[in-house]
Amino acid sequence: MKSETIVLPRRITFSDWLIERKKYNLRVVSASVDERLNLTCVIASENGKKIIIQEDADMARKQAKIPIEPSPNGGARAKSPLARLLAELVERAEKAPGKVQRIFLPGGLRVDTIVGLDGMSRVMLGRQGVAPSDTEWVTTLNHWPYDPPLETDAERFEHKGWHCMRAGWKTPEVDR
């Protein structure tokens, strides 16, 4: 049986929207453009399915205290598609110390990480044109394959058209 709820990201590229629209039979009810040329749309499903935003779905799961499976290295992490992607990213970084590893997520969000030769791990979120949100930062850290330090605050900066958030912490010792 198919799910009666459609989960979409808060921000989406136009090409991804075309795919999602066709996949879920969606339509735009209304649209507006702000002074920064950000397009905001109200959407509906032609077949009456409920539509929720990914961050809202994640928050609902946390509030409902849905159990999550422990990660291989001891921290509790959900086995969501994002968690799997981030685990693969961190694994690649651990196997290639000193080399930046990168993935691109829907909505144009880029995640870079490096396990530095100096004993520090670093993560950076970036997007061209629109800065990553605090929610995207928290969501990324909540799906990281281990628990980053609680005091991990992001530094915001811009570089060559990229709006970024980054932080670093001591690389944890992991038994593998």
Structure-model confidence comparison of residues 64 and 136, the more confident one: 136
What are the residues whose beta carbons fall under 8 Å from the beta carbon of 88, sequence distance 6 or more?
103
pLDDT of residue 101: 96
CA distance 128 to 164: 9
State mean pLDDT over 20-35: 81
Residue spans of the domains in the chain: they are 5-63, 81-170
- Out of 2.30.42, 3.30.2000, 3.40.1720, 1.10.286, the CATH code matching 81-170 is 3.40.1720
* Full-model pTM: 0.55
pLDDT of residue 31: 78
Please say if the pLDDT value at position 125 is more than 80: yes
Contact assessment for residue 51 and residue 44, using Cβ atoms and an 8 Å cutoff: yes
pLDDT band at 3 (very low <50, low <70, confident <90, very high): very low
CA distance 102 to 88: 10
